[in-house]
Amino acid sequence: MAVTKHTKDFLDGLIDYYIAEAPSYKQIAQTYHPEVQSVSDAAFGIITGCVYSAFLRAYENENRTVELDDLQEFNKILKERAASIKSAINESPE
């Protein structure tokens, strides 16, 4: 089964939120420096992890099971927005 339009819209809105809040997530990632070599990559990982967690929770709330094609579509959606997420992180102040 494919990702529903409702879930896609939810993910798009969520990604927009995390793009707007990128400086906060960069600040969180900076607390792990120097253990984390790339603050930008760490912030990206935190954001994508949050989006992934929300994706799984959305399926759980709908009593649906995440199938391989759902994960592939999720990854496609996230990959299409990855450059915007990275730009927002990199443009935020140190």
Q: What are the tens digits of pLDDT across the range 2-47?
A: 888 999 999 999 999 999 999 999 999 999 988 998 999 999 999 9
Structure-block tokens of residue 45: 């990982």
Q: Does the reported pTM lie above 0.85?
A: yes
Burial class of residue 79, CB neighbours in 10 A (0-12, 13-18, 19+): exposed
CB neighbourhood size of 33 (10 A): 11
Q: Would you kindly state where each structural domain of the chain is located, as residue ranges?
A: 5-91
